[in-house]
Amino acid sequence: MRVITAPMTGVASVTPSDSTVIATTHGLMVSVAGDVAVQFEDGSTATIASAIAGVVYPFAVTKVLSTGTAATGILALY
């Protein structure tokens, strides 16, 4: 388990994709609420049901999956 102790220092817009791997995040945030399907750093997957706009979800993910994602305006926080 990775523990994040430093503040987030960067951000990038994410286009959901079942195949694109992104740099491991410190967190995610959405601009428009909805489900967000992710693959975590360890390879496991889950869906953040009804992710709320503006809330930082402190997850180390390597993919934001298009299958199962309805939220838009997804930001990866680094």
What tokens does 43 get? 């390879």
The arrangement of strands across the sheet holding 75-77 comes to 11-13, 75-77, 27-29
pTM of the model: 0.91
Q: pLDDT tens across 30-77, in order?
A: 999 999 999 999 999 999 999 999 999 999 999 999 999 999 999 999
* Every domain of the chain and the residues it spans: 11-77
Secondary structure (DSSP) of the chain: -----SPP--EEE----SS---PPPSEEE-SB-EEEEEEETTS-EEEEEEEPTT--B---EEEEESTT---BS-EEE-
